[in-house]
Amino acid sequence: MPVRNDFINFTFDTAIIGAGPAGLSAAVRARFVKSRGAFPMSAAVFECSETAGGLANFGGTKITGPSFHLERGELTARLIKDVKLFDIPIIKDRIVKIKKAAGGSHFTLSGAGGGNYRSRSVIIASGMRPLSNEIQFFGNGVEITYMGYDFINKMISGFIGDAARNDKKFIIYGNKYSMNLINLVISAVNCLKTDFDKMSPLFLIDADEKELTNDKTFKKYPFLFAFGKIVKFYGNGRLEKIAVESGGRVSCEKADRVLIDYNSFELAPDFGVKIYPAADIFDKTGFVKISASGATKIKGVFAAGDITGPYYSVSRAVAAGITAAFSAYEYVMRLKKRSGGYSLFAYKARNFIPDTGYREIDIDSSRDETPVLSKPAKIKKILRAKFPDAPGPLMDKLMVYFVQYKILAKKDFEEISKLLNISFIELNDLIAFMIDEKLLGIE
């Protein structure tokens, strides 16, 4: 996944948190609204893990019933192909804050990596928890409780036996809702007649210790519990260590096998994004509440996929991503005061009559800096056709200005007119033509 940090000054129409099935499908739909007269939105996806695709990377994905499925990563690969096709940047950063200034028209998203990004709308598609690099070790030390209790039972007995025999470190990672699983493990350890001390700590819980103090099992076996958040996995092919963040400090610990208890995150997600001004967009366990159109209580903030609660499935995530993207599109177009001039095929499939004078974007030449959104390949074709004698290196220089997302200053337009040897008025006409052809958008 390429790291892209060149968008700090660009105001995206929509910023999507999370590159799982919900986020990727939202991004593609936002960029490709697929309606006559609709101008594509600028979209960026933020992903904190090493790999785009979210949980759908982990196993073969059954889309409906059990009779057919997409191989591991297949669905993800297809979504990523479309994201690339539309040149949607996937920015590697963990979003930690979303802020909207009072009376402001855009949101600022802050990343853990120090970046600040601007957008007119936000789609939260962060799933049940931020991933790091667990996919690298999936099946090689990292397992996930997603396969029902029979499977978990067998796996736990196998892991515990192995850990006890071969001095391996086995960790179960979850939150305060892991107690069901913990009781299952305790009975498995009792059956194996394994020494509990040898395994300590066995459970790593992403919660405040105080939340478990009244729990019977915790009271009986406190030495089996540690508290913290796994932030990274290490090993040479197989898992060897984990980095755990606790009380603001990160430490590395031996771990040969980690079972991530998704059943607990299904009951309370790990959503670490602060929202300002604070708004109650969550239900009592921390999932984001949305309307049927994917809207949250904050105007301009939408959500889709696992972060909105059960039922957890890829097809639902993909569909909800599309819905949230359409809603964000409507919101952004209204914000740009173009209401009435846009339509969506999904809402007006039968009766949409394109307006011949329709023009989505106007040029405002009085502004010093102009954020532009362009389709570089098609622009190059037009420039080649209009300036057939322009040598290749000149064309390369020109194309530096026509990239997918860019802020152009007035002096850049002057440079372009100089390079093409045309007047500013002629350049304006050329730009207007590109806008009419929907190859160039100017905010």
Residue ranges binding ligand FAD (CB under 6 A)? 17-23, 46-49, 54-56, 58-59, 61-62, 94-95, 125-128, 130-131, 144, 146, 262, 272-273, 305-306, 312-315, 317
SS3 content of the chain, % helix, strand, coil (to 5): 35, 25, 40
Cα–Cα distance measured from residue 45 to residue 25, given in angstroms and rounded to the nearest whole number: 11
CA 242 to CA 286: how far, in whole Å? 26
Q: How far is it, in rounded angstroms, from Cα 34 to Cα 26?
A: 13
Whose Cβ is closer to ligand FAD: residue 268's or residue 372's? 268
- CB atoms < 10 A from the CB of 161, how many? 15
Report H helices in 336-420: 376-386, 392-399, 410-420
> Which of residues 134 and 330 has its CB atom nearest to ligand FAD in the complex?
134
Rounded to a whole number of angstroms, the minimum distance from the CB of residue 189 to ligand FAD is: 25
Tell me the residue type at 78.
R
288 vs 408, beta carbon nearer ligand FAD: 288
Q: How far is the CB of 26 from ligand FAD (least distance, A)?
A: 9
The distance of closest approach from Cβ of residue 90 to ligand FAD in the complex, given in angstroms and rounded to an integer, is 10
Using DSSP, state whether 267 is helix, strand or coil.
coil
Instruction: List, in sequence order, every residue forming a beta bridge with 15; answer none if it has no partner.
Output: 44, 122
Asked whether the beta carbons of 440 and 373 are under 8 A apart, the reply is yes
Find the shortest distance in angstroms from Cβ 62 to ligand FAD.
Answer: 4
Residue (301 or 317) nearer to ligand FAD, CB = 317
Q: How far is the CB of 412 from ligand FAD (least distance, A)?
A: 32
Backbone phi and psi for residue 385, each to the nearest 5 degrees, phi listed first: -70, -40
The dihedral of CA 180, 186, 192, 196: what is its sign? Answer: positive
> CB of residue 328 vs ligand FAD: minimum separation in angstroms?
16
Determine the 3-state secondary structure of 248 from DSSP. coil
Q: In a 3-state reduction of DSSP, which class is residue 98?
A: strand
- Cβ proximity to ligand FAD: between 54 and 441 the closer is 54
CA separation for the pair 183, 179 (Å, rounded): 6
Smallest separation (angstroms) from ligand FAD to the CB of 262: 6
Nearer of residues 314 and 383 to ligand FAD, judged by Cβ: 314
* Between 221 and 312, CB nearer to ligand FAD: 312
Sign of torsion over alpha carbons 35, 41, 46, 50: positive
User: Please, what is the minimum distance in Å from the beta carbon of residue 161 to ligand FAD?
Assistant: 23
6 vs 40: CA distance, rounded Å: 20
In this complex, which beta carbon is closest to ligand FAD, that of residue 61 or of residue 374?
61
Q: What DSSP designation does 138 have?
A: B
